[in-house]
Amino acid sequence: MSDPNDTSTDSKAERRLRKDAEKAAESNPLDPWERYRALNDLVDHMLDVIEMADRRTRFALLLLGSLNAANLLIVARGDLLGVTFVNMTVVRFYVGCYLGLSLYFLIHAVNALKPRARQMGLANEAVVAPGAVGLRLVDDILKHPLDDYYQVWRTAPAGAINREMALQVHLLARTTAEKYAALRKVYGGVMILLGLTAVFLVVLALHLIAPSIV
């Protein structure tokens, strides 16, 4: 006969019920307010990622500027470094390749930093989702006079607000993907230019050590 004071069976049953309730809660869809908070957090996260991409691009531009300054110094003080005694065909080829590559990767850096109108929902850059009421995207907001815009907020259903936030997250994700694609090319360019500079410095060093080699 079981002891009425024994609560182990009851506690096991309670734990099982709690686990079943937690599993059910995890499988349930979010309610509108929970979706709003989740989407708002995702918008903030996307903006942080975009800002991080911009900071990394500015750092890459700093590296690129330092490399350009170093190469300018090499050319300007070529008499001290022995550049004037190297085969001028080699020098011209190096300068031409370096300038061309530097400009090419500079274009990608500008592309990574340039503002994307679509992330704010400006004209012709975003396709408004069906059912959107014009609450969060800039062009849609400015279509409303102030009082009308406030009235839209007063009457907007939660689903419409969440739909526009989802659209904004999608636009920010596209912006993020484009920025990081350009950023990868910029850093790849920095590595290429760094390697090109290193090879040229090795050629100069070999010339100073053994002029007959070059």
CA separation (Å) from 191 to 17, 108, 160? Answer: 58, 14, 47
Which residue ranges make up each domain of the chain? Answer: 31-209
Q: What are the backbone dihedrals phi and psi of residue 94, each rounded to the nearest 5 degrees, phi first?
A: -65, -45
pLDDT at residue 94 in the model: 79
CA 179 to chain centre: 5
Greater confidence, 8 or 169?
169
Residue 55 has pLDDT above 90, yes or no: yes
Q: Which long-range contacts (CB under 8 A, 24 or more apart) does 175-180 make?
A: 175/46, 175/50, 175/116, 175/118, 175/119, 176/46, 176/49, 176/50, 176/53, 178/111, 178/116, 179/50, 179/53, 179/54, 179/57, 179/112, 180/53
| Share above pLDDT 90 across residues of the chain, in percent, rounded to a whole number | 17
**What percentage of residues in the chain have a pLDDT greater than 70?**
71
**Claim: this prediction has a pTM higher than 0.85:** no
